[in-house]
Amino acid sequence: MAILPVITAPDPRLKVKSKPVERADDEIRRLMDDMLETMYEAPGIGLSAVQVGVHKRVIVIDLAKEGEEPQPLKLANPEILWLSGETVTFEEGCLSVPGFYAEVTRPAGIRIRYLDPENEARELAADGLLATVIHHEMDHLDGILFIDHLTALRRNIILRKLAKARRAKPPARVAAPGA
């Protein structure tokens, strides 16, 4: 397994819509495991492939608390089957929007269909924080960040601060030969 670099906003790669996987094969299983390791290390409770620069419709989630038995969820091609009319509001954060948190209101319940790592079609019903994290990760697959649910004013303040922080401390780069 490997810990992968997580892309942070504002980065145009986070705005790209991800493509469905043809089937869950060894490459996808490896991606899911690398994403889980990256997510645990961060730490975070969800991660989408686009955040590690892979534009495939793959997400991982684990809501288990530290010290509890891990409960990894590995999902490819998640599709919404049903949304509840009720809404719920959670304070969200994002590994691609480091240091910023905001309340987002989303459908309280969700039912999805997806491919598991063995390429089997499965369904999952969720509410509470799990439903919110599924929405957050599925948004990533369509190039949407939680800050896109805020007013343009709040979003732009956050994006400007992130861009300024990046200029102050650019991400580590591998040295070019001869550099």
List, by residue number, the catalytic residues.
137
Question: 56 vs 53, 64, 143, 178, CA distance in Å?
Answer: 9, 25, 12, 34
Binding mask 4-43 for ligand GNR (x = CB under 6 A): ----------------------------------------
Under rule CB under 6 A, residue 133 binds ligand GNR: yes
Tell me the C-alpha distance between 123 and 119, whole Å.
Answer: 13
Tell me the C-alpha distance between 55 and 96, whole Å.
Answer: 15
Under rule CB under 6 A, residue 109 binds ligand GNR: no
Q: Are 14 and 51 in contact (CB under 8 A)?
A: yes
Binding mask 37-66 for ligand GNR (x = CB under 6 A): -------xxxxx--x---------------
- Which residue of 56, 57, 140, 149 would you call a contact of ligand GNR, by CB under 6 A? 140
Under rule CB under 6 A, residue 145 binds ligand GNR: no
Q: Which two tokens stand for residue 87?
A: 């809404």
Partner touching 90 among ligand GNR, Ni ion, none, CB below 5 to 8 Å by kind: ligand GNR
Q: Which single residue brings its beta carbon nearest to ligand GNR?
A: 44
* Least distance to ligand GNR, CB of residue 160, Å: 20
Q: Which single residue brings its beta carbon nearest to Ni ion?
A: 94
* Least distance to ligand GNR, CB of residue 32, Å: 14
Interface ranges with ligand GNR (CB under 6 A): 44-48, 51, 90, 92-96, 132-133, 136-137, 140
Interface ranges with Ni ion (CB under 5 A): 94
